[in-house]
Structure 1
Amino acid sequence: MGVRQSGQVRLRALGLLMAVTFVVWVAGPAQGQQEITGKDGAPMVLVPAGEFTMGSNDGSDDEKPVHRVSLDAYYIDKYEVTVGQYAKFLEARGVNGPPMWTTMDQPPHQKRPVVNVDWSDASTYCEWAGKRLPTEAEWEKAARGADGRIYPWGNEPPDPLRANYGKEKWNNHDALVPVGQLKDGKSPYGIYDLAGNVWEWVSDWYDQDYYTTSPAQNPKGPENGKYRVLRGGSWDLAPENLRSSRRDFNLPLSPSYESPSYRNFNSGFRCAKNPVLTPSGRMASSGELMPLSPVPADYTDKHMPTGWWTDPNIIEEGKQVYSQEGCRSCHKDGKPVKSGGGLRDQKNTSRFSDSYWFWRVAEGVPKTTMKAWKSYLSEEQIWKVIAYIHQFSHGGKPSEHTDYKP
């Protein structure tokens, strides 16, 4: 695809044909890597800090020269963003889907990668999910690892058990495979579908000579340009186009089907995220990422009444509400028995603002036993519950809490 002439002509033909006839640490799957779960429910894999080899002397001119790049640690989506995930984004934003969305958003396709998205679509989704598009260097390291391999799985040529490629017909989305299905093709970090299936947008502007002047530490691409970079190859390409160092590009926006950059059926994306550090400098787990979630406007000016964090009478009243009204299932014999989304972890709660505390208790914590209490507790009662929960994050002892400012 992209603006390489043969690919562009081929995609236009394909497009015309289509128009006529869609936080908690866990062990990762490879090398014991660590994962978090993003706001959009997508698992993200940690790629550790360090150097890797970028580019190829056997590739196109824009892959040269081969050079060493050092990157800070980052998280990247384990899978390409799916149709199902993109549908939730569209619903949350109240906007229409990309062209041909009605045929894409069907039950058989929910776990296939979303396509027909341009660079702006991809970037907006990642921002909504509290993430960003990966840089070109981050994408290549996630695919190649530190040993300079040619493909995500190693140096052996592609085969159908490792990558989805070489198909001639779109066939109403059947050209795509569900994300994560090709387990033999995962990268050294346990990341799937980095070769074939769909091209993936990255954040960088494209410059064919960028490698001659790119920085050795955390390169982010040229400051401006005309085209954006895509990586990874797609379902309709020959196997030699799936090399992890191969670069392609296209216009970032798609004003119409007459544009050479119109959204097409072989481009998708995945997101990345910088690690969040705890006050001690350790990388935070999924639960510890929660304080960085934006507090809704209705809750941004909430503050604990003076003295309530350590008032034993307030804490006792909060205990009664907590055990009798809201959380019988997670409270027994005066002690909590199940975590409420990190609300009792000192490393976590030290990063909560008062507003965040109130929001989480008022609205509840998804996927935990902490239910939403705003409908039947007064604001005063909610603060008492917070004071009670807070003491458990400090060994069961009443403790002051500083209103955290990110």
Structure 2
Amino acid sequence: MTDPDDLRARVAGELQRARARSALLTDAVGDDDLTRQHSRLMSPLVWDLAHIGNQEEQWLLRRAGGCSPVRADIDDLYDAFRHPRADRPALPLLGPAEARGYVREVRDRVLDALDVMSFDGPPLVTGAFVFGMIVQHEQQHDETMLATHQLRSGPPVLSAPPPPAGSPVTGEVFVQGGQFTMGTDAEPWALDNERPAHVVDVDSFFIDAAPVTNAGYEAFIADGGYDTERWWTPDGWAHRQRAGLSGPMHWGPDGTYTRFGRTAERVPDEPVVHVSWHEASAYAAWAGKRLPSEAEWEKAARWDPATGRSRRYPWGDDEPSPQHANLGQRHLSPAPAGAYPAGSSPLGVHQLIGDVWEWTSSVFTGYPGFRAFPYREYSEVFFGPEYRVLRGGSFGTDASACRGTFRNWDYPIRRQIFAGFRCARDA
């Protein structure tokens, strides 16, 4: 059993780490950029900041802590289900100074509540689950704010060292068919859609040893991939025509890529990023393959053929380190293929965690025995064929919000997210 004082120290550290990142992303720009909507796909950065504080207030102070409200009058403004992103700039939002003051006051009260919080009792507080949920919520919004930075115009304001160099990783890996345990009951901060653990039987398949690279995707474009209807699903072809797609988002026509305000030549062995599910599916068809199912992806990422056990991560059960994966905005780009050999799976599949979210063929739905917790709006309201599952996290995903069981989802047309893919095929 975890010592309560150790758990409090861990929670406090994770809360502080998330808040430091939120501050970095919002302090990097002036008030005009904070309140401007840089894309109708995204909220103004100042909305994200106050929304982070409002969720923290509602869950950690009012529900878990039984405390009186700080600003109950703004709950409606920061309800993501009431106000689509495109409409949020017209709301009477807190200004930058007021938003910063609000999140600071909420955090001070949360730390006071944490000092006396018991982690025994109802499921909401057992193992500090609700704190873990809010840490992950803030880090998820930090990744969203990072995507907003990618969409803003103007001079660069973010910087980070380049990722490590890669080494050649090509070809496919064979994954033996059979049963494995998908999902988890053991992760104390796992979210409802990751539960419960259940046995899945998967046929044998091959999966790419690394994500599809810029060079690989350029070959698809050069071969007329965007002009050949047979590679696309009917919905994908209609969207390609309607949106005028001719290559990944942020690619220039001269072999360049613009990232966070800087334009440079594309790195050939870097995983391709900012492609939709439709584009990924078309590439896979062109290559004579397909996208992996969610179960195939997780088996390749977690299954240890020597023991038959499902690990927490491809490399084992240890928490991610800088040697394992490109996570947490430590770098501002995916790392070249082969850059993290210590993070590969027992089967030799590389970079399943970090670098780019990976599209799968699967629609988003609950596992057998799913129970919504602690509210339906986290997962259940999104179940259905409109959404496709992404796995593995990106260079902008924090380790607290990324596990071998972690599930992300989005519309198949989405390109502003840090998404790429790898292919699979039947054995």
Q: CA deviation at 1:204?
A: 0.6
- Tell me, yes or no, if structure 1 residue 190 matches structure 2 residue 348: yes
User: Which residue of the partner structure matches residue 379 of structure 2?
Assistant: none
AA matched with 2:316? G
User: Which residue of the partner structure matches residue 362 of structure 2?
Assistant: 204
State the alpha-carbon separation in 2 of the partners of residues 203 and 94 from structure 1.
19
Q: CA deviation at 1:212?
A: 2.9
| 1:142-161 correspondence runs (5 A) | 142-145=300-303, 146-161=308-323
- Tell me, yes or no, if structure 1 residue 81 matches structure 2 residue 212: yes
State the alpha-carbon separation in 2 of the partners of residues 111 and 50 from structure 1.
33
User: Which residue of the partner structure matches residue 236 of structure 2?
Assistant: none
User: Which residue of the partner structure matches residue 268 of structure 1?
Assistant: 420
Q: Extract unaligned runs of 5+ from structure 2.
A: 1-41, 43-79, 81-135, 155-168, 227-245, 259-263, 371-381
1:75-133 superposed Cα distances (whole Å, 9 cap, x missing partner): 00000000110011011016321221123396551111000101111111001100000
Give 4+ residue runs of structure 1 displaced > 4 Å after superposition: 2-12, 105-108
User: Which residue of the partner structure matches residue 104 of structure 1?
Assistant: 257
1:7-58 superposed Cα distances (whole Å, 9 cap, x missing partner): 775455334422314xxxxxxxxxxxxxxxxxxx951110011111100112
Q: CA deviation at 1:264?
A: 2.4
Equivalent position to 1:247, from 407, 411, 424: 407
Q: CA deviation at 1:152?
A: 0.2
- Tell me, yes or no, if structure 1 residue 51 matches structure 2 residue 179: yes
User: Which residue of the partner structure matches residue 229 of structure 1?
Assistant: 389
State the secondary structure of the residue aligned to 1:235: coil
State the secondary structure of the residue aligned to 2:358: strand
User: Which residue of the partner structure matches residue 135 of structure 1?
Assistant: 293
State the alpha-carbon separation in 2 of the partners of residues 154 and 11 from structure 1.
25
Answer yes or no: is the 8 Å Cα contact 2:182–2:199 preserved in 1: yes
Answer yes or no: is the 8 Å Cα contact 1:62–1:211 preserved in 2: no
Q: What TM-score do the two structures reach when normalised by structure 2?
A: 0.51
Q: Which one has a bigger Cα radius of gyration?
A: 1
User: Which residue of the partner structure matches residue 341 of structure 1?
Assistant: none
State the alpha-carbon separation in 2 of the partners of residues 206 and 42 from structure 1.
29
Distance of aligned partners of 1:17 and 1:272 in 2 relative to their CA distance in 1, 3 Å threshold: same
User: Which residue of the partner structure matches residue 162 of structure 1?
Assistant: 324
1:209-259 superposed Cα distances (whole Å, 9 cap, x missing partner): 23338xxxxxxxx99512110000111122122311111101111xxxxxx
User: Which residue of the partner structure matches residue 373 of structure 1?
Assistant: none
| 1:215-364 correspondence runs (5 A) | 225-253=385-413, 261=414, 263-264=415-416, 266-275=418-427
State the alpha-carbon separation in 2 of the partners of residues 120 and 274 from structure 1.
20
Answer yes or no: is the 8 Å Cα contact 1:151–1:242 preserved in 2: no
State the secondary structure of the residue aligned to 1:210: coil
User: Which residue of the partner structure matches residue 13 of structure 1?
Assistant: 145
AA matched with 2:202? L
Task: Report % sequence identity.
Answer: 39
Answer yes or no: is the 8 Å Cα contact 1:98–1:117 preserved in 2: yes
State the alpha-carbon separation in 2 of the partners of residues 82 and 153 from structure 1.
22
Q: CA deviation at 1:169?
A: 6.4
State the secondary structure of the residue aligned to 1:13: helix
State the secondary structure of the residue aligned to 2:334: coil
Q: CA deviation at 1:148?
A: 1.2
Distance of aligned partners of 1:239 and 1:9 in 2 relative to their CA distance in 1, 3 Å threshold: closer
User: Which residue of the partner structure matches residue 278 of structure 2?
Assistant: 120
